[in-house]
Amino acid sequence: MKKETVIYLPRLDATFFEIEGYAIALCRFVRDSGGQVWAGWIKGGYGVVLRIQNISRKLLKIGTSILINFAIESWETLSVIERVVNATPLPDNSAEIPWGTVWLCSQRLSKRLTFQLPNGAYLVSRVARSGRSVFAVRLGKHREGLWRQAVEAKAVGKLCYISWSAPQFDEQKDLWIPTFGSQKVK
């Protein structure tokens, strides 16, 4: 019977950004190596699960070793739990934004950016009032109204985060803490 490797990256002390970054890097490594991968948040945002198929265990071990070494050099915490199970078909990602399609990044909010991102992407302005983002939305089909909200919130032209997972979005908008380079509005 065909096997697949399941890798868990629990959150522990790491942030959503760190865990997601490692997961996306591993997804790209697997795809670049000719394998197939599906990744998603563990319910409640407690970490990431990756299901990996059609790649040798030896090659996968190289990929995970690179991530672990990078975490050590960066003084970050990374736990990797790996197990081999019988393969089942990977979930269809067409209903959600596939991992690695939209990388978490900081860009200036523009109308072009707002209309180019896929449905389901999240935008969180780094402009804050009372410690909370002034503009935090999930993009859908109707963008004109969202664009007007961004203009009214004075978030246009300012840095914003782009993400595509609900746990990460919740962390960004609810636990927004001003950091170096963040803009504050009184």
3-state helix/strand/coil string of 85-140: EECCCCCCHHHCCCCCCCCCEEEECCHHHHHHCCCCCEEEECCEECCEECCEEECC
pLDDT at 40 over 60: yes
Handedness of CA 23, 28, 30, 36 (dihedral sign): positive
Share of the chain above pLDDT 70, in %: 72
pLDDT tops 70 at residue 72 = yes
From 3.10.105.10, 3.40.50.2000, 3.40.50.460, 3.30.70.600, which CATH number describes the 3-95 domain? 3.30.70.600
Above 80 in pLDDT, residue 45? no
Query: Whole-structure pTM over 0.85, yes or no?
Result: no
Query: What is the rounded CA–CA span in Å between residue 4 and residue 79?
Result: 20
pLDDT(172) > 70: no
